[in-house]
Protein backbone atom coordinates (compact mmCIF):
# COMPACT_ATOMS: atom_id res chain seq x y z
CA UNK A 1 0.00 0.00 0.00
CA UNK A 2 1.17 3.51 -0.81
CA UNK A 3 -0.48 4.95 2.31
CA UNK A 4 0.04 4.06 5.94
CA UNK A 5 -3.45 3.02 7.00
CA UNK A 6 -4.21 4.33 10.48
CA UNK A 7 -7.89 4.35 11.30
CA UNK A 8 -8.93 6.43 14.29
CA UNK A 9 -10.30 4.08 16.94
CA UNK A 10 -12.88 5.20 19.48
CA UNK A 11 -11.34 4.25 22.84
CA UNK A 12 -13.06 6.98 24.84
CA UNK A 13 -16.52 8.45 24.68
CA UNK A 14 -17.12 11.25 22.19
CA UNK A 15 -20.00 13.69 21.77
CA UNK A 16 -20.54 15.52 18.47
CA UNK A 17 -22.82 18.56 18.38
CA UNK A 18 -24.05 20.05 15.10
CA UNK A 19 -24.64 23.78 14.90
CA UNK A 20 -26.36 25.30 11.88
CA UNK A 21 -28.40 28.48 11.29
CA UNK A 22 -32.17 28.32 11.09
CA UNK A 23 -32.19 29.99 7.66
CA UNK A 24 -29.76 30.11 4.74
CA UNK A 25 -29.53 33.92 4.69
CA UNK A 26 -28.05 34.04 8.18
CA UNK A 27 -24.42 35.13 8.49
CA UNK A 28 -23.97 33.80 12.02
CA UNK A 29 -21.69 30.95 10.88
CA UNK A 30 -19.94 32.80 8.07
CA UNK A 31 -17.04 33.25 10.48
CA UNK A 32 -17.46 29.99 12.45
CA UNK A 33 -14.54 30.60 14.84
CA UNK A 34 -16.57 33.19 16.72
CA UNK A 35 -19.32 30.68 17.58
CA UNK A 36 -16.82 27.91 18.29
CA UNK A 37 -14.74 30.08 20.63
CA UNK A 38 -17.88 31.07 22.57
CA UNK A 39 -18.83 27.41 23.05
CA UNK A 40 -15.26 26.38 23.84
CA UNK A 41 -14.75 29.09 26.46
CA UNK A 42 -18.04 28.19 28.17
CA UNK A 43 -17.23 24.46 28.34
CA UNK A 44 -13.63 24.99 29.44
CA UNK A 45 -14.84 27.24 32.23
CA UNK A 46 -17.55 24.82 33.34
CA UNK A 47 -15.41 21.66 32.96
CA UNK A 48 -11.77 22.77 33.42
CA UNK A 49 -9.17 20.26 32.19
CA UNK A 50 -11.84 17.61 31.52
CA UNK A 51 -12.58 17.99 27.82
CA UNK A 52 -10.74 18.08 24.49
CA UNK A 53 -12.81 20.39 22.28
CA UNK A 54 -12.50 20.55 18.52
CA UNK A 55 -14.62 21.68 15.56
CA UNK A 56 -15.24 20.60 11.96
CA UNK A 57 -16.45 23.14 9.42
CA UNK A 58 -18.79 22.09 6.61
CA UNK A 59 -20.22 24.52 4.05
CA UNK A 60 -22.58 24.54 1.08
CA UNK A 61 -23.46 26.72 -1.87
CA UNK A 62 -24.94 29.50 0.30
CA UNK A 63 -21.50 30.00 1.86
CA UNK A 64 -19.74 30.17 -1.51
CA UNK A 65 -22.38 32.54 -2.87
CA UNK A 66 -21.62 34.92 -0.01
CA UNK A 67 -17.92 34.55 -0.79
CA UNK A 68 -18.56 35.56 -4.39
CA UNK A 69 -20.76 38.49 -3.36
CA UNK A 70 -17.97 39.72 -1.08
CA UNK A 71 -15.30 39.15 -3.77
CA UNK A 72 -13.46 36.81 -1.39
CA UNK A 73 -11.21 34.14 -2.86
CA UNK A 74 -11.51 30.44 -2.04
CA UNK A 75 -10.65 27.03 -3.45
CA UNK A 76 -13.14 24.18 -3.86
CA UNK A 77 -11.41 20.93 -4.74
CA UNK A 78 -12.60 17.36 -5.20
CA UNK A 79 -10.56 14.29 -4.36
CA UNK A 80 -13.21 11.71 -5.21
CA UNK A 81 -13.02 7.96 -5.54
CA UNK A 82 -11.06 8.16 -8.80
CA UNK A 83 -8.36 10.34 -7.27
CA UNK A 84 -8.19 8.19 -4.12
CA UNK A 85 -7.89 4.95 -6.10
CA UNK A 86 -5.09 6.48 -8.16
CA UNK A 87 -3.32 7.78 -5.04
CA UNK A 88 -3.22 4.36 -3.41
CA UNK A 89 -1.72 2.76 -6.52
CA UNK A 90 -4.85 1.56 -8.30
CA UNK A 91 -4.65 0.32 -11.88
CA UNK A 92 -6.94 1.13 -14.79
CA UNK A 93 -8.91 4.35 -15.22
CA UNK A 94 -11.63 6.48 -13.60
CA UNK A 95 -15.28 6.67 -14.70
CA UNK A 96 -14.39 9.24 -17.40
CA UNK A 97 -11.70 6.94 -18.85
CA UNK A 98 -8.76 9.01 -17.61
CA UNK A 99 -5.99 6.49 -16.85
CA UNK A 100 -4.23 6.08 -13.52
CA UNK A 101 -0.44 6.22 -13.40
CA UNK A 102 2.32 6.24 -10.80
CA UNK A 103 3.29 9.78 -11.80
CA UNK A 104 -0.28 11.07 -11.46
CA UNK A 105 -0.63 9.25 -8.12
CA UNK A 106 2.45 10.92 -6.71
CA UNK A 107 1.40 14.37 -7.93
CA UNK A 108 -2.09 13.90 -6.45
CA UNK A 109 -0.62 12.95 -3.07
CA UNK A 110 1.63 16.02 -3.06
CA UNK A 111 -1.19 18.35 -4.09
CA UNK A 112 -3.56 16.87 -1.47
CA UNK A 113 -1.17 17.65 1.38
CA UNK A 114 -0.17 21.07 0.03
CA UNK A 115 -3.71 22.31 -0.45
CA UNK A 116 -5.03 21.12 2.91
CA UNK A 117 -1.96 22.01 4.97
CA UNK A 118 -0.82 25.40 3.76
CA UNK A 119 -4.01 27.33 2.91
CA UNK A 120 -6.95 28.25 5.14
CA UNK A 121 -9.39 29.00 2.30
CA UNK A 122 -9.40 25.52 0.72
CA UNK A 123 -12.58 23.45 0.99
CA UNK A 124 -12.53 19.72 0.34
CA UNK A 125 -15.62 18.25 -1.31
CA UNK A 126 -17.14 15.73 1.07
CA UNK A 127 -18.60 12.50 -0.27
CA UNK A 128 -19.87 9.24 1.16
CA UNK A 129 -18.25 6.15 -0.33
CA UNK A 130 -16.45 2.99 0.68
CA UNK A 131 -13.16 4.88 0.22
CA UNK A 132 -13.91 7.57 2.81
CA UNK A 133 -11.96 5.69 5.49
CA UNK A 134 -8.99 5.55 3.14
CA UNK A 135 -9.18 9.30 2.65
CA UNK A 136 -9.54 9.87 6.41
CA UNK A 137 -6.50 7.71 7.05
CA UNK A 138 -4.41 9.84 4.75
CA UNK A 139 -5.74 12.99 6.45
CA UNK A 140 -4.78 11.59 9.85
CA UNK A 141 -1.33 10.38 8.77
CA UNK A 142 -0.45 13.83 7.45
CA UNK A 143 -1.96 15.72 10.38
CA UNK A 144 -4.43 17.57 8.18
CA UNK A 145 -7.63 19.28 9.24
CA UNK A 146 -9.67 19.99 6.12
CA UNK A 147 -12.69 22.21 5.86
CA UNK A 148 -15.43 20.26 4.10
CA UNK A 149 -17.96 21.35 1.51
CA UNK A 150 -21.01 19.81 -0.14
CA UNK A 151 -19.62 17.65 -2.96
CA UNK A 152 -22.56 18.39 -5.27
CA UNK A 153 -23.02 22.11 -4.63
CA UNK A 154 -21.78 23.25 -8.10
CA UNK A 155 -23.10 20.29 -10.09
CA UNK A 156 -25.99 20.55 -12.52
CA UNK A 157 -28.15 17.83 -10.96
CA UNK A 158 -31.93 17.44 -10.93
CA UNK A 159 -31.99 18.11 -7.20
CA UNK A 160 -30.08 21.37 -7.62
CA UNK A 161 -32.58 22.60 -10.19
CA UNK A 162 -35.36 22.62 -7.57
CA UNK A 163 -34.39 26.14 -6.42
CA UNK A 164 -32.43 29.12 -7.77
CA UNK A 165 -29.27 28.71 -5.69
CA UNK A 166 -27.17 27.15 -8.45
CA UNK A 167 -28.52 29.66 -10.98
CA UNK A 168 -27.75 32.57 -8.65
CA UNK A 169 -24.19 31.37 -8.14
CA UNK A 170 -23.44 31.04 -11.84
CA UNK A 171 -25.14 34.39 -12.47
CA UNK A 172 -22.64 35.96 -10.10
CA UNK A 173 -19.84 34.25 -12.03
CA UNK A 174 -21.18 35.64 -15.30
CA UNK A 175 -21.68 39.19 -14.03
CA UNK A 176 -18.40 39.59 -12.18
CA UNK A 177 -15.75 41.81 -13.78
CA UNK A 178 -12.99 39.54 -12.47
CA UNK A 179 -10.99 37.60 -15.08
CA UNK A 180 -12.46 34.14 -15.66
CA UNK A 181 -10.67 31.15 -17.11
CA UNK A 182 -12.17 27.75 -17.94
CA UNK A 183 -10.02 24.64 -18.33
CA UNK A 184 -11.94 21.85 -20.01
CA UNK A 185 -12.57 19.74 -23.12
CA UNK A 186 -13.77 21.18 -26.42
CA UNK A 187 -17.35 20.06 -25.75
CA UNK A 188 -17.62 22.78 -23.07
CA UNK A 189 -16.45 25.64 -25.32
CA UNK A 190 -19.95 27.18 -25.27
CA UNK A 191 -19.52 28.00 -21.59
CA UNK A 192 -17.42 30.96 -22.74
CA UNK A 193 -20.55 32.74 -23.99
CA UNK A 194 -22.81 31.41 -21.24
CA UNK A 195 -20.63 32.84 -18.45
CA UNK A 196 -18.70 35.49 -20.44
CA UNK A 197 -15.41 33.69 -19.92
CA UNK A 198 -12.20 35.54 -20.79
CA UNK A 199 -10.01 32.55 -21.63
CA UNK A 200 -10.72 28.92 -22.50
CA UNK A 201 -7.86 26.43 -22.17
CA UNK A 202 -8.73 23.22 -23.98
CA UNK A 203 -7.67 19.82 -22.65
CA UNK A 204 -7.90 16.32 -24.14
CA UNK A 205 -11.23 14.69 -23.34
CA UNK A 206 -9.34 11.49 -22.48
CA UNK A 207 -6.12 11.47 -20.43
CA UNK A 208 -6.04 15.22 -19.78
CA UNK A 209 -3.01 14.73 -17.52
CA UNK A 210 -0.91 13.73 -20.54
CA UNK A 211 -1.02 17.40 -21.64
CA UNK A 212 -0.46 18.91 -18.21
CA UNK A 213 2.74 20.83 -18.99
CA UNK A 214 1.18 22.56 -21.99
CA UNK A 215 -1.96 23.44 -20.00
CA UNK A 216 -0.13 24.90 -17.00
CA UNK A 217 2.20 26.87 -19.31
CA UNK A 218 -0.80 28.30 -21.13
CA UNK A 219 -2.36 29.33 -17.82
CA UNK A 220 0.87 31.03 -16.78
CA UNK A 221 0.98 32.90 -20.11
CA UNK A 222 -2.57 34.14 -19.54
CA UNK A 223 -1.41 35.43 -16.16
CA UNK A 224 -2.10 34.06 -12.67
CA UNK A 225 -3.32 37.42 -11.42
CA UNK A 226 -5.03 38.47 -8.20
CA UNK A 227 -8.75 37.63 -8.07
CA UNK A 228 -8.75 35.42 -11.19
CA UNK A 229 -11.55 32.85 -11.17
CA UNK A 230 -10.77 29.39 -12.57
CA UNK A 231 -13.45 26.83 -13.48
CA UNK A 232 -11.78 23.45 -13.82
CA UNK A 233 -13.43 20.62 -15.74
CA UNK A 234 -10.47 18.36 -16.47
CA UNK A 235 -10.90 15.25 -14.31
CA UNK A 236 -8.13 14.35 -11.84
CA UNK A 237 -5.82 16.99 -13.29
CA UNK A 238 -8.02 19.69 -11.71
CA UNK A 239 -6.51 18.93 -8.30
CA UNK A 240 -2.99 19.48 -9.62
CA UNK A 241 -3.94 22.77 -11.27
CA UNK A 242 -5.46 23.96 -7.99
CA UNK A 243 -2.26 23.18 -6.12
CA UNK A 244 0.15 24.64 -8.69
CA UNK A 245 -1.79 27.85 -9.32
CA UNK A 246 -2.39 28.35 -5.61
CA UNK A 247 1.35 28.10 -5.06
CA UNK A 248 1.87 30.84 -7.66
CA UNK A 249 -0.77 33.16 -6.21
CA UNK A 250 -2.92 32.61 -3.11
CA UNK A 251 -5.29 35.44 -4.05
CA UNK A 252 -7.32 33.53 -6.65
CA UNK A 253 -10.53 31.49 -6.74
CA UNK A 254 -10.42 27.89 -7.96
CA UNK A 255 -13.53 25.80 -8.60
CA UNK A 256 -13.15 22.11 -9.34
CA UNK A 257 -16.44 21.82 -11.25
CA UNK A 258 -15.80 18.38 -12.72
CA UNK A 259 -18.79 17.17 -14.74
CA UNK A 260 -20.96 20.02 -13.46
CA UNK A 261 -21.54 21.68 -16.83
CA UNK A 262 -21.82 18.58 -19.04
CA UNK A 263 -25.62 18.21 -19.20
CA UNK A 264 -26.16 21.87 -20.15
CA UNK A 265 -24.48 21.17 -23.46
CA UNK A 266 -26.20 17.92 -24.26
CA UNK A 267 -24.12 15.24 -22.56
CA UNK A 268 -25.37 13.44 -19.46
CA UNK A 269 -22.31 11.84 -17.85
CA UNK A 270 -23.76 11.10 -14.40
CA UNK A 271 -26.98 9.31 -13.27
CA UNK A 272 -28.59 12.26 -11.43
CA UNK A 273 -28.09 14.82 -14.18
CA UNK A 274 -31.13 16.47 -15.83
CA UNK A 275 -31.87 16.44 -19.54
CA UNK A 276 -30.54 19.14 -21.86
CA UNK A 277 -34.07 20.55 -22.13
CA UNK A 278 -34.36 20.86 -18.35
CA UNK A 279 -30.95 22.56 -18.19
CA UNK A 280 -31.78 25.08 -20.90
CA UNK A 281 -35.04 25.94 -19.18
CA UNK A 282 -33.27 26.45 -15.84
CA UNK A 283 -30.31 28.44 -17.21
CA UNK A 284 -32.24 30.32 -19.93
CA UNK A 285 -31.28 33.74 -18.52
CA UNK A 286 -27.58 32.86 -18.80
CA UNK A 287 -27.59 31.19 -22.20
CA UNK A 288 -27.36 33.33 -25.36
CA UNK A 289 -30.59 33.88 -27.28
CA UNK A 290 -29.26 31.92 -30.26
CA UNK A 291 -28.34 28.89 -28.14
CA UNK A 292 -29.10 25.65 -29.98
CA UNK A 293 -29.74 22.27 -28.48
CA UNK A 294 -26.69 20.08 -28.88
CA UNK A 295 -28.84 16.97 -29.37
CA UNK A 296 -30.80 18.70 -32.14
CA UNK A 297 -27.55 19.84 -33.75
CA UNK A 298 -26.19 16.30 -33.65
CA UNK A 299 -29.41 14.91 -35.10
CA UNK A 300 -29.32 17.39 -38.02
CA UNK A 301 -25.67 16.57 -38.67
CA UNK A 302 -26.48 12.83 -38.68
CA UNK A 303 -29.40 13.34 -41.09
CA UNK A 304 -27.21 15.42 -43.42
CA UNK A 305 -24.57 12.69 -43.43
CA UNK A 306 -27.18 10.05 -44.21
CA UNK A 307 -28.61 12.17 -47.02
CA UNK A 308 -25.18 12.65 -48.58
CA UNK A 309 -24.78 8.86 -48.81
CA UNK A 310 -27.67 8.59 -51.30
Q: What is the pLDDT of residue 9?
A: 64
The kind and range of the H/E element at 200 are strand 199-202
The mean pLDDT of 31-59, rounded to a whole number, is: 88
Question: Considering the chain, what percentage of its residues have pLDDT values greater than 90?
Answer: 67
CA dist 246 to 84, 166, 251, Å? 21, 25, 8
Under 8 Å CB-to-CB from 73, ≥6 apart: which residues?
Answer: 67, 121, 227, 250, 251, 252, 253
Mean pLDDT of the chain: 89
Q: What is the pLDDT of residue 176?
A: 97
Evaluate if residue 295 carries a pLDDT over 80. Answer: no
Residue 199 burial (C-beta neighbours within 10 Å; 0-12, 13-18, 19+): middle
- What SS3 class is residue 273? coil
Q: Which residues pair with 229 in a beta bridge?
A: 180, 253
The kind and range of the H/E element at 255 are strand 253-256
Q: What is the pLDDT of residues 233-281, one digit of tens each?
A: 999 999 999 999 999 999 999 999 999 999 998 778 888 899 999 999 9
Is 215 in contact with 241 (CB distance < 8 Å)? Answer: yes
- What SS3 class is residue 13? coil
The C-alpha angle with vertex 222 and arms to 216 and 224, in degrees rounded to 5, equals: 75
Distance, CA of 276 to CA of 218 (rounded, Å): 31
Is 131 in contact with 151 (CB distance < 8 Å)? Answer: no
Q: What is the pLDDT of residues 86-123, one digit of tens each?
A: 999 999 999 888 999 999 999 999 999 999 999 999 99
Amino acid sequence: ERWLMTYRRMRKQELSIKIKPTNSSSNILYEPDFIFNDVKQYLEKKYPDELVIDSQEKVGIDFFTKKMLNNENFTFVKYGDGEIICMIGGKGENCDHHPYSDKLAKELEISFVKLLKFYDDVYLAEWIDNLVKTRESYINVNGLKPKFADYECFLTLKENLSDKKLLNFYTLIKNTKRKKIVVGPKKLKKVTTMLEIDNFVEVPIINAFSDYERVINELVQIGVDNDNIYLLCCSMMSCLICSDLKEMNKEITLLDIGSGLDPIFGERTRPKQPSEEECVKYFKNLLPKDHTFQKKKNAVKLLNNISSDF
